[in-house]
């Protein structure tokens, strides 16, 4: 009763009451959105596993031409806002061997209870993965510039060393991009393997790249010592 009286007293005070109500509403909305994000991620993982296992389920709206156009239009526009050239998404989604798995992903998402918009989100996120996995020539054609992953590679290499890890996965990097990064760093390249020596900050590092079976590459980083001391010895 004391608590109820206290709450009633606060709400009776106009400014404080509105502030409390707004704050509680914000917390409720934030919790709801966080829960929806977690559910979407879990649904997408299950749907991807189903498609990877051979599921050919299509969404219920596939017979509706207008709905298909609405779906693709929404995916391409949101993808563009996330840095994916519309030309890339248009060309990719015109390839039946790519479009079919994307539609199967949408169908599996629908089976998980996902809404039309959530199905679009899942396909858009997959489109971003496909773009990030494309090589420099393709990205140059679609976007007009090459992506330079040097800063990300070196930051992750330092992080691996600092955390006592030798190897990590770089899902955004292809082996060709690793070779491009290594080309002016005493590279050693062979099929399925790239090695180079890199100066990062004041350190001298050995970096090795190998293909990851799912996506991207494995990167191993080894610290040799201070660059100034090692290079002075040579």
Lowest mean pLDDT segment, chosen from 85-99, 129-143, 183-197, 207-221: 129-143
Instruction: Classify the C-alpha dihedral 117-58-49-127 as positive or negative.
Output: negative
Instruction: Classify the C-alpha dihedral 63-67-70-76 as positive or negative.
Output: negative
pLDDT, greater one: 26 or 191: 191
Q: For 216-230, how does the pLDDT look when each residue is reduced to its tens digit (9 = 90+)?
A: 889 999 999 998 888
Determine the average pLDDT of the residues in 170-193.
88
Cα distances (angstroms) measured from residue 120 to each of 36, 61, 94, 175, 226: 15, 13, 16, 30, 49
Q: For 183-212, how does the pLDDT look when each residue is reduced to its tens digit (9 = 90+)?
A: 989 888 888 999 999 999 999 999 999 998
Residue 198's beta-bridge partner residues?
205
Lowest mean pLDDT segment, chosen from 62-76, 97-111, 138-152: 138-152
pLDDT, greater one: 78 or 55: 78
The DSSP code for 95 is -
Instruction: Classify the C-alpha dihedral 167-169-175-179 as positive or negative.
Output: negative
Q: DSSP E strands: which ranges in 72-227? A: 167-170, 188-190, 193-200, 203-211, 217-226
Lowest mean pLDDT segment, chosen from 13-27, 73-87, 92-106: 13-27
Cα distances (angstroms) measured from residue 125 to each of 139, 146, 173: 17, 21, 17
pLDDT, greater one: 113 or 92: 113
pLDDT greater than 80 at residue 35: no
86: enclosing H helix or E strand:
helix 86-92
pLDDT, greater one: 66 or 44: 66
pLDDT greater than 60 at residue 10: no
Rg (CA), the chain: 25
> Which of 212, 124, 222, 126 shows the shortest CA–CA distance to 175?
212
pTM of this structure:
0.45
């Amino acid at each position: 009763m004391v608590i109820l009286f206290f709450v009633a007293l606060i709400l009776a005070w106009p400014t404080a009451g509105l502030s409390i109500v707004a704050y509680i509403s914000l917390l409720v909305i934030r919790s709801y959105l966080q829960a929806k994000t977690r559910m979407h991620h879990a649904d997408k993982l299950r749907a991807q596993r189903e498609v990877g296992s051979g599921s050919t389920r299509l969404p219920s709206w596939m017979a509706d031409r207008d709905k298909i156009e609405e779906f693709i239009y929404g995916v391409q526009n949101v993808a563009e806002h996330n840095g994916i050239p519309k030309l890339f998404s248009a060309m990719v989604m015109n390839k039946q061997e790519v479009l079919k798995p994307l539609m199967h992903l949408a169908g599996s998402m629908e089976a998980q209870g996902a809404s039309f918009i959530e199905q679009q989100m899942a396909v858009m996120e997959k489109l971003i993965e496909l773009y990030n996995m494309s090589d420099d020539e393709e990205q140059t054609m679609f976007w007009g510039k090459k992506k330079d992953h040097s800063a990300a590679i070196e930051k992750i290499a330092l992080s691996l060393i600092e955390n006592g890890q030798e190897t990590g996965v770089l899902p955004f990097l292809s082996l060709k991009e690793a070779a491009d990064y290594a080309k002016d760093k005493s590279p050693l390249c062979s099929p399925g393997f790239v090695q180079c020596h890199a100066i990062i900050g004041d350190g001298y590092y050995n970096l090795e790249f190998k293909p990851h079976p799912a996506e991207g590459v494995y990167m191993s980083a080894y610290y040799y010592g201070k660059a100034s001391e090692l290079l002075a010895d040579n």
